[in-house]
Amino acid sequence: MKLTREVCIGGTVVLVCGIVAAGIAWALLRSLDDLPPPSRQTLPVLDWWEHCVLYQVYTRSFKDSDGDGIGDLKGIIDELDHFVDSGVEAIWLSPIFESPMVDFGYDISNYYDIHHEYGNMKDFEDLLRKAHVLGLKVLLDIVPNHASIESEYFQNSEADEPEYRDYFVWAEPVWTDMGNETIRQPPSNWVSLFGGSAWEWSEVRQKYYLHQFAVEQADFNFRNPAVMDEIINIMKYWLDKGVDGFRLDALPYLVEAYPEDFNGSYPDEPLSGISKFSSNQLGYTIPIHTKDLLELYDIVYEWRKFVDDYKIKNGGDTRVLFSEAYANISMTMLYYGDEDGSLGTHFPFNFGFITDLSDKSDARDFVYTILKWLTYKPSGSVANWVFGNHDNKRMASRFRDDMVDGLNALNLMLPGVAVTYQGEEIGMRDGYVSWQDTVDVEARNRGNNDTYLQYTRDPARTPFHWNDDMSAGFSTNENTWLPIADDYTEINLAQQRESDTSHYKVYQTLTCLRKEPTLSHGLYDINTLSRETFYLIRRLKGHDSYTLVFNVGEEEDEVDLSRIPQLELPARVVTASVFSEVMEGKSINQSNLTLRPGEALVLKTSPVTDC
Ligand code: NOJ
Ligand code: MG
Ligand code: CA
């Protein structure tokens, strides 16, 4: 196995240098592994993003270069090799733009400049250039739904400057006669995602403005063509600098019901009737007027047209748009646009592993969730799999520690794009952050000392564990913006790189394996083998087949491999969970296999002649 990995790392380097050299490395890999000659079958050429490993960098927590305890761009530059070493091909950076950091960058005050704690424009240009030299694509995280109230847009709008007057969603108050007094009330019962009314009174403008998230994040008015133009200007500015695309934030909230469509007033949302929610809590209403409105998709399709036209005008590789939308499956699929996914964003993030599965899920739930996406997605579009992000508990904490390798294997072996949140490659768990140390606006607004753990996103944002030095090698400062998780001496990159067996080594093996045509172009079949174990087999005519068997249960499980169609034993173990007793390289000849709780094996079998 070690040999294969080394050849792969060599292969990664030559890939940057050219296809011819990569071909030699590939041929070398084949001969070392004593495989049959490659098929002559011509496979369609995939665009760079269609089968990439996409890695989310949470900028503030990745690497601090200047000792202020906050991650920054020079820190990312210093660690660019980590992406190459991991087999990552594209990174997206959580917002790096100037921001008062109420929502840690998702409240942008200047979309055209770099946040001062993260560095400056030259640092960004260096980062981009150096990443490109290494063959890495770089995506930025654009927040089109809302801007910081400290932005010039909002300040000018609040001051009623004509050019900016309708940049945001402003509303007159509703006056209610209470007998001896008349009180001012918001125009509707809309509730913010971070708690409280979605309307905030402006003393300056003497109107309410809408904020679907924090009070400090004012929603743009997308019926104003000037706002549309400005978002395009912002994208163009960064594309001109050379970025390869964007993650688009919070798209379901782009458009809300407009008074002109409702007899001049903002319509109330229907009540959910769930008694545990008071009128200022998320869940009190059903968001039919503030989320998933059909009008938003036309806006998104215009953005796709813009990036496609940009490529036609300027040449170069495809610039991509990936959309963030927590929505039901039908509304999510609309972000793809049409049957070949060329109308909408290149894909909407698939959050099934976050929203639909947990440590309580069995094999049936996994298979069902995976097939749901593959079944609903437009036939010509590209799938993707998200296992973690900065808004949700880390993978190891949402599921179980013993499932880390199986989950990474699933991510890297399923068809389409694999999305990794920083730290998942080493199986980082959530850190503990006390109420006193809690800085997440959602937790501070919605929670208190007793309840904040239900809401807080800080534990998934604690700094990356580089090594077991002070502050986990993240910073030279012992005071970091969020505390370092206690387990950093146990779980860190340096130690996992040293060790013969580690989550990181498994991850590397799998990103290497991903370059096999079977994984980029092969068919898939997935099904349960028992209540707790399922398989995923990838097959391509004339090429080796690869099979993942994964026991997601908490008990030992004996399964029968002969139930996997077209799996012809013997099989060779390519990699296995770190605690597995099955050695890499071992040949499996018998169909009865006993898997420990959480155990996953990746098996290689001879080429199939017929798929
Ligand atoms: C989604 C982002 O991922 C999250 O961190 C942020 O708080 C909201 N959108 C609002 O921008
Ligand atoms: Mg710093
Ligand atoms: Ca909005």
Name the catalytic one among 103, 200, 324, 405.
324
Q: Is the CB of 347 under 6 A from ligand 1?
A: no
Cα of 592 from ligand 1 centre, angstroms: 46
Percent over 70 (pLDDT), the chain: 93
In contact, 173 and 185? CB cutoff 8 Å: yes
Contact in structure between 149 and 223 (CB atoms under 8 Å): no
User: 324 and 250 in contact (C-beta within 8 Å)?
Assistant: yes
**Residue 191: strand pairing partners:** 197
Rounded Cα–Cα distance for residues 292 and 218 (Å): 18
CATH superfamily for domain 146-219+257-289: Oligo-1,6-glucosidase; Domain 2 (3.90.400.10)
CA angle 449, 452, 457 (to 5 degrees): 140
Q: How far is the centre of ligand 3, averaged over its atoms, from the C-alpha of 250 (Å)? A: 9
Question: Which ligand places an atom closest to the C-alpha of 477?
Answer: 2
Among the bound ligands, name the one nearest to the CA of residue 147. Answer: 1
Residue 472 has pLDDT above 60, yes or no: yes
Which ligand 1 atom sits nearest the alpha carbon of residue 106?
Answer: 11
Q: Does the annotation count 219 as an active-site position?
A: no
| Dist CA 572 CA 548 (whole Å) | 12
Quote the CA–CA distance of 139 and 146 in Å, as a whole number.
19
Residue 409 has pLDDT above 50, yes or no: yes
Each domain of the chain, given as residue ranges in start order, spans 53-145+225-254+290-458, 146-219+257-289
Q: Is the CB of 249 under 6 A from ligand 1?
A: yes
pLDDT (mean) for 310-336: 98
Report pLDDT for 611: 59
CA–CA distance, 189 with 437 (Å, rounded to integer): 32
More confident residue, 510 or 39: 510
Considering every ligand atom shown, identify the ligand nearest to the alpha carbon of residue 253 and give its number.
Answer: 3
Distance 62 CA to ligand 2 centre (A): 10
Q: Is 275 left (phi over 0), alpha (psi -120 to 50) or beta?
A: alpha
Compute, in degrees rounded to 10, the torsion defined by CA atoms 501, 503, 508, 514: 120
- Fold of the domain spanning 53-145+225-254+290-458: TIM Barrel (3.20.20)
Whats the size of the chain, residue-wise?
Answer: 611
Nearest alpha carbon, ligand 1 atom 10: 106
Pairing of the two strands 600-605 and 245-248: unpaired
- pLDDT tens figures, 91-143: 999 999 999 999 999 999 999 999 999 999 999 999 999 999 999 999 999 99
Of the candidates 393, 457, 402, which has an alpha carbon nearest to the alpha carbon of residue 429?
A: 393
What number does the ligand 1 atom closest to the CA of 194 have? 7
The DSSP annotation for 396-443 comes to: HHHS-GGGHHHHHHHHHHSSSEEEEETTGGGTPPPPP--TTT---HHH
At 332-350, the pLDDT tens digits run 999 999 988 899 999 999 9
- In this structure, are residues 169 and 210 in contact, taking their beta carbons and an 8 Å threshold? yes
* pLDDT tens-digit readout, 189-217: 999 999 999 999 999 999 999 999 999 99
Taking the CA atoms of the chain, what radius of gyration do you get in angstroms? Answer: 25
Residue 250 Cα to ligand 1 midpoint, Å, equals 6
- Give the number of the atom of ligand 1 that is nearest the alpha carbon of residue 143: 11
Choosing from 58, 61, 101, 106 the residue with most ligand 1 atoms within 8 A of its CB, the one to mutate for a pocket test is 106
CA distances from 53 to 14, 182, 420, 601 (A): 18, 58, 7, 21
Protein residues placing their CB within 5 Å of the ion ligand 2 = 64, 66, 68, 70, 72
The number of angstroms, rounded, from the C-alpha of 266 to the middle of its chain's C-alpha atoms is 34
Instruction: Give, in order, the Cα–Cα distances in Å from 279 to each of 177, 266, 269, 308, 601.
Output: 20, 17, 11, 44, 49
Q: What is the DSSP string of 534-603?
A: EEEEEE-TTS-EEEEEEE-SSS-EEEEGGGSTT--S-EEEEEE-TT-SSPTT-EE--SEEEE-TT-EEEE
351 secondary structure, DSSP code: -
- As given in the structure block, the two tokens for residue 468 are 């077991």
Ligand 1 pocket mutation pick from 102, 103, 140, 445 by most atoms within 8 angstroms of CB: 103
Cβ–ligand 1 contact at 143 (below 6 Å)? yes
Confidence of residue 608 (pLDDT cuts 50, 70, 90): confident
- Atom number of ligand 1 nearest to Cα 441: 7
Cα gap 22→18, rounded to integer Å: 6
Q: Angle between the 2-17 and 19-32 helix axes, to the nearest 10 degrees?
A: 170
- Please report which ligand is nearest the Cα atom of 58: 1
Confidence of residue 555 (pLDDT cuts 50, 70, 90): very high
Q: Which atom of ligand 1 is nearest to the CA of 250?
A: 9
Q: Is 585 left (phi over 0), alpha (psi -120 to 50) or beta?
A: left
For 204, the token pair is 């300056």
H or E, element range at 247: strand 245-248
pLDDT in tens, 297-312: 999 999 999 999 999 9
587: exposed, middle or buried (Cβ count in 10 Å: 0-12, 13-18, 19+): exposed
Looking at residue 200, what is its pLDDT?
98
- DSSP annotation of 168 reads B
- The pTM assigned to this predicted structure is 0.94
Which among 464, 469, 455 has a CA at the least distance from the CA of 482?
Answer: 464
User: pLDDT: is 463 or 39 the higher one?
Assistant: 463
How far lies 52's CA from each of 48, 304, 382, 408, 514, in Å? 7, 20, 11, 14, 9
| Closest ligand to residue 145's CA | 3
Q: What's the pLDDT band for 8 if we cut at 50, 70, 90?
A: low
Active site residue 203: no
Residue 90: pLDDT band with limits 50, 70, 90:
very high
Average pLDDT over residues 147-175: 98
Q: How far apart are CA 448 and CA 396, in angstroms?
A: 26
Separation of 324 CA from ligand 1 center, angstroms? Answer: 9
Query: Quick one: three-class SS letters along 192-230?
Result: CCCCCECEEEECCCCEEEECCCCCCEEEECCCCHHHHHH
| pLDDT surpasses 70 at 242 | yes
Q: Ligand 1 center to residue 106 CA distance, Å?
A: 6
607 falls in which pLDDT band (50, 70, 90)?
confident
Q: How far is the CA of 249 from the centre of ligand 1 (A)?
A: 7
- Pocket flag, ligand 1, residue 106 (CB < 6 Å): yes
Q: Collect residues with CB below 5 Å from ion ligand 3.
A: 145, 219, 253
Q: Which protein residue has the closest C-alpha to ligand 1 atom 2?
A: 249
pLDDT class for 26, splitting at 50, 70, 90?
Answer: very low
Distance between Cα 221 and ligand 3 center (Å)? 7
Q: Is the pLDDT of residue 574 over 80?
A: yes
* Residue 531: band (very low, low, confident or very high) from pLDDT cuts 50, 70, 90: very high
Average pLDDT score over the chain? 93
* Whether the CB of 250 sits within 6 Å of ligand 1: yes
Q: Is the pLDDT of residue 385 over 80?
A: yes
* Interatomic CA distance for residues 448 and 450, integer angstroms: 5
SS3 content of the chain, % helix, strand, coil (to 5): 30, 20, 50
Alpha helices (H) along 447-570: 493-498, 503-513, 517-521
367 within 8 A of 357, measured Cβ to Cβ: no
For 314, left (φ over 0), alpha (ψ -120 to 50), or beta? Answer: alpha
Average pLDDT over residues 475-502: 98
Annotated catalytic residue: which of 103, 141, 249, 557?
Answer: 249
